């Protein structure tokens, strides 16, 4: 048998789709797909997933066609998650599914949009993009006659809401009220770690955005390759590429360095995870949940290097004056729309106006928030223009 990762033996602590805890609402099983693969397909076919194509990762969608959006980011996370799960002997369908779904609750304009909706909703129960993602897949998407949401498997729902670890300390926050209510009716084990596959999806997110923010940052001219030479992890890799391939132009040098950095991070996660699995002796998916720490993780040295890399990106990219200017514009757009819709709900589209009726102020605010959170960057800009600029017809 080949030693290629494609032939890795299934890990004893991998999730088994044949033993899934099932769905909240009973359905016949698919004849052609595992339950986790079916979940993946349901997420891909949602309106929320399609709208990610014009939602900000760092740069607003209209700033250029080559920058990542939430959709391309989610696809890159899913690719890393599937490859890493396969190499570790885990269920790659489940890891890919959680990776594809992890960002579909993000509002327009990235973190600026989330910050503004948190501010707008402070008096009305708050806003959290992870909770919004969960609400999208359990409530807001309406595609089936017998239930709201997508009726995903227990394992996928668990992974979406707690891929970063136990969430019990968050349940007291007003923005997490929806999760507490759902858990009271359908237990998700919120006090434990999620499956190894969910943890893989979380690490794949870190791998994707750290590498691709470097790529986008250089592409946008926010910093140069030379300025990366002293940054941990990417600096030594970049120096090696330049030494080995001095003939490469700056673009190919950048892409090769990013490719190698992804490989280095994946290898590090694999090594650390296999070491932890051996040390803890986990033999089942439930053993993974019973641990008091993550099974899938970066090594301490890699985690330290990544922390320093993020410091660089925070200073030179996420808080760059050009990005700050866009963040400021985006927050004003969302704040002005939120206040108008809350004061005058009859200017909402008919479906959303109907949802806002017969509710108290907090309930109406939640409907307004859901409407805005579902917008793409481009739609939000256009909707704001229609609301606040008078069109004069001849």
CA separation for the pair 327, 112 (Å, rounded): 5
283 vs 209, which has greater pLDDT? 283
Share of the chain above pLDDT 90, in %: 84
pLDDT digits (tens, 9 = 90+) for 79-108: 999 999 999 999 999 999 999 999 999 999
H helical segments located in the chain: 35-44, 47-51, 70-87, 92-101, 110-120, 129-135, 154-162, 177-185, 196-219, 225-228, 234-244, 250-280, 285-290, 300-313, 321-343, 350-356, 361-373, 377-388
Q: List the single range of 59-68, 94-103, 158-167, 310-319 with lowest mean pLDDT.
A: 59-68
Q: Report how far apart the first and last C-alpha atoms of the chain are (Å, whole number).
A: 76
Q: Which residues contact 382 (CB under 8 A, 6 or more apart)?
A: none
pLDDT digits (tens, 9 = 90+) for 209-258: 898 889 888 988 889 999 999 999 999 999 999 999 999 999 999 999 99
Q: List the single range of 13-17, 311-315, 318-322, 347-351 with lowest mean pLDDT.
A: 318-322
Residue in 153, 315, 164 with CA at minimum distance from that of residue 231: 315
pLDDT digits (tens, 9 = 90+) for 365-385: 999 999 999 999 999 999 999
CA separation for the pair 171, 89 (Å, rounded): 33
238 neighbors 257 (Cβ within 8 angstroms) = yes
> Is the pLDDT confidence value at 10 over 80?
yes
SS3 90: coil
> Is the pLDDT confidence value at 42 over 70?
yes
SS3 138: helix
Residue 365 tokens read as 């605010």
> Is the pLDDT confidence value at 328 over 80?
yes
309 neighbors 234 (Cβ within 8 angstroms) = yes
Residue 18 tokens read as 């044949």
**pTM of the predicted protein model:** 0.93
- Residues 334-359: b if buried by 16+ CB within 10 A, e if exposed: beebbebbbeebeebeeebeebbeee
CA separation for the pair 367, 74 (Å, rounded): 26
Residue written as token pair 């900000």 = 56
> Is the pLDDT confidence value at 7 over 70?
no
Residue in 300, 106, 325, 118 with CA at minimum distance from that of residue 205: 106
CA separation for the pair 264, 303 (Å, rounded): 12
211 vs 152, which has greater pLDDT? 152
> Is the pLDDT confidence value at 5 over 90?
no
Share of the chain above pLDDT 70, in %: 94
Average pLDDT over residues 298-302: 97
pLDDT at res. 216: 85
> Is the pLDDT confidence value at 57 over 70?
no
162 neighbors 67 (Cβ within 8 angstroms) = no
337 neighbors 107 (Cβ within 8 angstroms) = no
Q: Count CA atoms within 13 Å of residue 226 on its CB side.
A: 0
pLDDT-based confidence at residue 67 (cuts at 50, 70, 90): low
Average pLDDT over residues 288-315: 96
pLDDT at res. 212: 87
312 neighbors 334 (Cβ within 8 angstroms) = no
Residue 37 tokens read as 């693969």
pLDDT at res. 110: 87
CA separation for the pair 128, 111 (Å, rounded): 11
Average pLDDT over residues 187-199: 97
């Amino acid at each position: 048998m080949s030693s290629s990762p494609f032939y890795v033996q299934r890990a004893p602590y991998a999730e088994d789709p044949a033993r899934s805890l099932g769905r909240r609402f009973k359905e016949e099983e698919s004849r052609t797909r595992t339950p986790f693969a079916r979940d993946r397909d349901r997420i891909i076919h949602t309106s929320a997933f399609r709208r990610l194509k014009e939602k900000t990762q760092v740069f607003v969608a209209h700033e250029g066609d080559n920058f990542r959006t939430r959709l391309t980011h989610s696809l890159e996370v899913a690719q890393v998650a599937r490859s890493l799960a396969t190499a570790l002997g885990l269920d790659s369908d489940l890891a890919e599914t959680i990776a594809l779904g992890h960002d579909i609750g993000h509002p327009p304009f990235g973190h600026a949009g989330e910050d503004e909706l948190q501010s707008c909703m402070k008096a009305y129960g708050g806003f959290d993009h992870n909770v919004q993602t969960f609400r999208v897949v359990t409530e807001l998407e309406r595609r089936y006659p017998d239930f709201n949401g997508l009726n995903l498997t227990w394992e996928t729902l668990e992974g979406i809401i707690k891929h970063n670890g136990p969430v019990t300390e968050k349940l007291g926050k007003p923005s997490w009220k929806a999760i507490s209510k759902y858990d009271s009716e359908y237990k998700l084990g919120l006090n434990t770690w999620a499956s190894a596959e969910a943890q893989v999806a979380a690490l794949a997110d870190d791998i994707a955005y750290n590498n691709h923010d470097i790529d986008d940052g250089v592409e946008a001219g926010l910093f140069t390759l030379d300025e990366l030479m002293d940054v941990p992890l990417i600096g030594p890799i970049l120096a090696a590429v330049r030494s080995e391939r001095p003939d490469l132009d700056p673009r190919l040098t950048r892409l090769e360095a990013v490719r190698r950095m992804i490989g280095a991070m994946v290898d590090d996660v694999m090594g650390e995870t296999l070491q932890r699995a051996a040390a803890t002796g986990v033999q089942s998916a439930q053993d993974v949940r019973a641990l008091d720490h993550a099974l899938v993780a970066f090594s301490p040295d890699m985690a330290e290097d990544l922390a320093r890399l993020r410091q660089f990106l925070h200073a030179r990219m996420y808080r760059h004056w050009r990005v700050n200017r866009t963040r400021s514009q985006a927050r004003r757009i969302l704040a002005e729309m939120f206040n108008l819709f809350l004061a005058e709900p009859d200017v909402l589209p008919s479906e959303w106006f109907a949802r806002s009726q017969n509710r108290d102020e907090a309930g109406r605010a939640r409907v307004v928030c859901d409407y805005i959170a579902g917008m793409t960057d481009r739609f939000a800009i256009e909707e704001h223009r229609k609301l606040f600029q008078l069109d004069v017809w001849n």
